[in-house]
């Protein structure tokens, strides 16, 4: 009798961990493979690297004399890990740092560069040893494109114009000769110009109309002289649900004359849960988990709100909505330096990443670029480093699993997502997208947000030739499970397969999991 009770208790405990699939937990997902939507731009998987905390220094840059393996001062392990993600673009040097950055401090012999202050992020010394040439070397090493934000807050249009002449001029101007003397004779290729950053806040607290007056000037005079490498210009747009910058920027674009133009409008929105950030990155329960996922799903509402304004002025959708700051902003890691914005990264962060990416994909006609904040050691990072150690976070694994969606064609699906309810939180239980890559393979990404119940998905594709699904699933022992330097694979993708039975393929998804499969 005692043995029977013990076995029952063990079985109950296991059910809580892996979930039990009941009949009512079977959902039907139909992939409408005979239909297609817009291309999911690979640029929505962009990264953000600001001079903030240990994001650049220690995270990317260790210097050429470091004992850590590096190539011209850039960490080899970080480069190798990021190359696996096929990072499309990197936004730099900020962030709030961009509007206090003066590019001349970051060129020339490293020993002669001035040491300045970084008042936004901890008041620490900025050595300027990672500057223009180092950044361009970094993006070339990882195979990404450069997205450079110029200083509109404390800089001038001439300073920004000079920087882009220095970067891109192919004729022997004085600035081009200076670039060559600093080690790069050929002009750089800059894909994206950000005209300021958060001009409504740390970028100058500008009114929308005042920012538009500056936008016209910078968009006119900050030129790309490298005709072999086209460049797009991105204006500062809204913070969260405030539509004033969206309205002003799009109205100005609609009324523009031949002398200036833009290609995108930025949107910044973080999953925070209130200000200042206080939600714990580890050791949290289902309340915090549910509330932050609900806040993440607000991204869809925000995109719809701003896209509606953009449609009014731009029905042809020429201007992209660029979500160039997004991600979880949580309470800092205890013991970390003030202003360094270091936080751990859990299975909850993996779901936050997946839900955001799925949202961007569903709005691929307007959202054609995005940048998660941030790349290494800051906020919802891909990677964490400590001296010679490196660990890949759950968010990293989501980005790696989603690589096949880069430049794939959106494919509609039909799904009754059911509902996950916890306390006052009520959100969709399953979130999914599908896409067809250039080789014709169909990919499906599915997030089961329910942390207590597994779910069975019956997938119908309308194509009897598809007999097998295969891919990976990202699961964890707990919703707050993390990867550490001591245990780097606590949260890691595992293979998953499913075969056709009864006219459909059946896939079982663990609680709080992210799964990507193809057929």
Q: Which residues carry out catalysis?
A: 198, 325
Q: How many residues does the chain have?
A: 519
Give the C-alpha separation, 223 to 231, whole Å. 9
Say how many C-beta atoms besides its own lie within 10 A of residue 309's C-beta: 18
| First and final C-alpha spacing in the chain | 48
DSSP three-state, residue 136: helix
**Residue 351: which of 480, 496, 246 has the closest Cα?**
480
- The residues with which 496 forms a beta bridge, in sequence order, are 471
Q: How many helices (H) and strands (E) does the chain have?
A: 11, 27
Chain centroid to CA 148: how far?
16
What's the token pair of residue 386?
């400590």
Q: Report the half-sphere exposure of 26 (CA within 13 A, side-chain side).
A: 7
Name 47's Cβ contacts closer than 8 Å, sequence gap at least 6. 82, 87, 89, 90, 91, 144, 371, 372, 374, 375, 382
Rg (CA), the chain: 24
| Surface-to-core class of residue 6, CB atoms within 10 Å of its CB (0-12 exposed, 13-18 middle, 19+ buried) | exposed
Give the C-alpha separation, 396 to 475, whole Å. 14
């Amino acid at each position: 009798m005692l043995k029977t009770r013990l076995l029952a208790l063990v079985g109950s405990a296991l059910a809580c961990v892996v979930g039990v699939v009941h009949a009512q937990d079977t959902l039907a997902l139909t992939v409408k493979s005979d239909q297609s939507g817009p291309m999911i731009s690979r640029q929505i998987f962009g990264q953000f690297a600001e001079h903030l905390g240990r994001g650049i220094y220690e995270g990317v840059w260790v210097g050429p004399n470091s004992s850590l393996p590096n190539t011209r001062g850039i960490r080899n392990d970080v480069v190798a890990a990021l190359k696996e993600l096929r990072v499309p673009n990197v936004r730099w040097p900020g962030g709030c740092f961009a509007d206090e950055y003066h590019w001349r401090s970051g060129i020339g012999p490293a020993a002669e560069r001035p040491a300045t202050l970084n008042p936004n992020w901890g008041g620490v010394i900025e050595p300027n040893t990672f500057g223009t040439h180092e950044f361009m070397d970094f993006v070339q090493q990882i195979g990404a494109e450069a997205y450079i934000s110029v200083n509109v807050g404390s800089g001038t249009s001439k300073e920004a114009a000079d920087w882009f002449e220095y970067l891109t001029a192919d004729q022997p101007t004085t600035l081009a000769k200076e670039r060559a003397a600093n080690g790069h004779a050929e002009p750089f290729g800059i894909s994206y110009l950000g005209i300021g950053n958060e001009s409504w806040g740390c970028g100058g607290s500008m009114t929308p109309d005042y920012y538009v007056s500056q936008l016209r000037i910078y968009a006119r005079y900050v030129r790309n002289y490298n005709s072999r490498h086209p460049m797009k210009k991105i204006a500062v747009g809204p913070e969260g649900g405030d539509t004033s910058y969206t309205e002003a920027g799009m109205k100005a674009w609609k009324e523009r004359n031949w002398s200036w133009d833009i290609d995108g409008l930025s949107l910044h929105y973080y999953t925070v849960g209130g200000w200042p950030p206080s939600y714990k990155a580890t050791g949290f329960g289902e309340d915090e988990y549910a509330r932050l996922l609900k806040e993440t799903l607000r991204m869809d509402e925000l995109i719809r709100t701003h896209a509606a304004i953009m449609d009014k002025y731009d029905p042809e959708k020429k201007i992209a909505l660029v979500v160039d700051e997004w991600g979880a902003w949580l309470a800092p890691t205890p013991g970390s330096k003030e202003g360094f914005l270091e936080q751990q990264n859990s299975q909850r962060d993996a779901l936050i990443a997946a839900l955001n990416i799925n949202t961007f994909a569903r709005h691929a006609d307007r959202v054609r670029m995005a940048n998660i904040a941030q790349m290494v050691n800051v906020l919802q990072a891909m990677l964490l480093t400590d001296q010679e150690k490196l660990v890949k976070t759950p968010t990293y694994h989501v980005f790696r699993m989603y690589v096949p969606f880069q430049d794939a064609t959106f494919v509609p699906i039909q799904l009754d997502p059911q509902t996950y309810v916890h306390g006052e939180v009520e959100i969709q239980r399953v979130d999914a997208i599908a896409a067809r890559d250039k080789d014709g393979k169909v990919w499906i990404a599915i997030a089961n947000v329910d942390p207590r119940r597994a779910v069975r998905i019956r997938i119908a594709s309308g194509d009897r030739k598809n007999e097998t699904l295969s891919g990976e699933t990202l699961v964890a022992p707990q919703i707050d499970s993390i990867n550490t330097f001591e245990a780097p694979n606590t949260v890691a993708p595992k293979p998953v397969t499913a075969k056709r039975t009864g006219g459909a393929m059946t896939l079982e998804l663990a609680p709080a999991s992210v799964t990507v499969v193809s057929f």
